[in-house]
C-alpha cells in the first residue's frame, strides 16, 4: 500500500480575538465591501431604475498585521490578491420614498482573486428642502447586508512555495486556494446638501456594521496532506463607519461621484462611481 499517495485532511477550527493579527485582518478586508449609498438625491420615483458601478483600490494592511501566528506557523500572508475592487449596482425606486439597491459580483477571476459577492440595501429618504430653503436637504436612513466569498492563494501563494523542508510552511508545488467570507450587516444615516444654484450634491453620514468574517485554508502540501483550517472570531465586532462624498449629475440621466468610506478603527477607502437612470 502506497501511503504517500493518500491525502489526509486537517480541518481544525481556530477562534481568535478581534484584536489579534488574524482577527484584525479578517475585519480589515471585510468592512470595505459594505454596500454604501451610490447616490443620495434626488430619490428615485417608484419604478425608476438606476444602473451603475463603483470601483476603488484594495487597501493594504500594515506590514505587522500580515504577520500571523495564532492559527498557523508565524509567517507573512499574501493579502494583495487584486489591486482594485469593482462591482456593478442596480437601484430601483419603490413607493413610500423607499429605494432598493443591489449588487452581485459573479465568480470571475481578477488577478489572483475570484470573488462571488452579493449585497443588498433598502433605504428611506426625506426631502427637507422646504424647511431650509434655498439649500436642498435630503436625509436618508439605510440598512444593508453583504455575503459571499473571495477565493485565492492567501496562505501559500506561488512565490512562497518550497520543496526542501516538509516541516516548514508552504511545503508543496501548488498554491493554496483559500476562502474568505466577509459576511456583515449594518445601517447608516446620511445627510445630503445641494446648494442653491449648484448641481453638486455633498453628503456625509455615520453608521455601523456587525461583522461575521471567516477564513478557510485550502492547501495540499507535497505529502498529500490537505489543510482546511477554519479561522473565526471569538466575538463578532461592531464597527462604526463614516461616509462622505460628492455626486455630480450630467445631462439629467447620468451621475458621477467620489466617496470616502472609513471605519476609523480599521481602514479608509476611496471609491469612484457612475450611473445612468433609465427612467
DSSP string, 101-158: EEEEE-S-EETTEEEEEEEEEEEEEEE-GGGSTTSEEEEEEEEEEEEEEEEE-SSS-G
Q: Cell digits for 31?
A: 468592512
Q: State the pLDDT at residue 1.
A: 29
CA angle 137, 140, 146 (to 5 degrees): 150
Rounded-to-integer distance, Cα 237 and Cα 17, Å: 10
Count other Cβ atoms within 10 Å, centred on residue 117. 20
C-alpha dist (Å) from residue 60 to 16, 66, 104, 201, 216: 21, 10, 23, 30, 20
Count other Cβ atoms within 10 Å, centred on residue 106. 11
Q: State the pLDDT at residue 184.
A: 96
| 3-class DSSP string for 8-59 | CEECCEEEECCCCHHHHHHHHHHHHHCCCCCCCCCCCCCCCEEEEEEEEECC
Q: State the pLDDT at residue 74.
A: 55
- What does pTM read for this prediction? 0.85
Rounded-to-integer distance, Cα 271 and Cα 279, Å: 25
Total structural domains within the chain: 1
Q: Do 124 and 140 contact (CB within 8 A), yes or no?
A: yes
Q: Which residue range(s) make up the domain with 249?
A: 3-277
Rounded-to-integer distance, Cα 72 and Cα 78, Å: 14
Rounded-to-integer distance, Cα 17 and Cα 23, Å: 6
Q: Exposure of 246 by Cβ count < 10 A (0-12 exposed, 13-18 middle, 19+ buried)?
A: middle
Q: State the pLDDT at residue 251.
A: 83
Q: State the pLDDT at residue 6.
A: 39
Name the residue with cell 462622505.
244
Q: Cell digits for 29?
A: 478586508
Compute the half-sphere exposure of residue 216: CA atoms within 13 Å on the CB side of its CA: 11
Q: State the pLDDT at residue 161.
A: 93
Residue 43 belongs to a domain with what CATH number?
2.40.128
pLDDT per residue, tens digit, the chain (279 aa), is 223 333 444 558 889 888 888 888 889 889 889 999 877 665 688 889 999 999 999 888 877 776 666 676 555 555 566 788 899 999 999 998 899 999 999 988 877 888 899 999 999 988 887 766 677 888 999 999 999 999 999 888 888 899 999 988 899 999 999 999 999 999 999 999 888 777 888 999 999 999 999 999 999 999 999 999 899 999 999 999 999 999 998 888 899 999 999 999 999 999 999 999 987
Name the residue with cell 443588498.
120
C-alpha dist (Å) from residue 144 to 8, 76, 254: 40, 33, 24
Indicate the Cα dihedral angle 25, 65, 67, 270, nearest 10°.
70
Rounded-to-integer distance, Cα 205 and Cα 191, Å: 6
Amino acid at each position: 500500500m502506497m501511503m504517500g499517495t493518500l491525502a489526509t485532511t486537517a480541518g481544525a477550527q481556530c477562534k481568535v480575538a478581534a484584536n489579534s493579527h488574524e482577527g484584525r485582518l479578517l475585519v480589515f478586508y471585510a468592512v470595505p465591501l459594505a454596500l454604501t449609498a451610490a447616490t443620495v438625491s434626488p430619490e428615485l420615483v417608484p419604478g425608476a431604475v438606476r444602473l451603475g458601478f463603483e470601483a476603488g483600490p484594495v487597501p493594504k494592511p500594515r506590514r505587522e498585521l500580515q504577520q500571523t501566528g495564532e492559527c498557523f506557523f508565524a509567517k507573512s500572508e499574501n493579502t494583495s490578491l487584486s489591486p482594485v475592487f469593482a462591482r456593478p449596482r442596480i437601484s430601483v425606486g419603490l413607493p413610500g420614498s423607499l429605494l432598493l439597491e443591489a449588487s452581485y459580483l459573479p465568480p470571475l477571476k481578477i488577478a489572483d482573486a475570484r470573488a462571488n459577492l452579493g449585497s443588498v440595501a433598502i433605504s428611506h429618504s426625506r426631502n427637507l428642502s422646504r424647511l431650509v430653503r434655498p439649500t436642498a436637504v435630503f436625509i436618508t436612513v439605510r440598512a444593508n447586508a453583504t455575503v459571499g466569498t473571495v477565493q485565492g492563494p492567501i496562505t501559500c501563494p506561488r512565490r512562497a512555495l518550497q520543496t526542501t523542508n516538509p516541516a516548514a510552511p508552504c511545503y508543496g508545488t501548488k498554491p493554496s486556494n483559500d476562502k474568505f467570507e466577509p459576511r456583515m450587516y449594518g445601517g447608516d444615516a446620511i445627510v445630503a446638501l445641494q446648494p442653491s444654484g449648484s448641481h453638486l450634491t455633498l453628503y456625509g453620514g455615520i453608521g455601523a456594521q456587525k461583522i461575521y468574517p471567516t477564513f478557510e485554508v485550502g492547501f495540499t502540501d507535497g505529502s498529500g496532506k490537505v489543510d482546511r483550517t477554519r479561522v473565526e472570531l471569538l466575538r463578532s465586532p461592531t464597527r462604526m463607519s463614516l461616509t462622505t462624498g460628492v455626486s455630480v449629475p450630467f445631462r439629467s440621466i447620468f451621475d458621477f461621484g467620489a466617496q470616502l468610506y472609513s471605519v476609523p478603527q480599521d481602514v479608509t477607502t476611496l471609491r469612484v462611481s457612475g450611473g445612468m437612470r433609465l427612467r
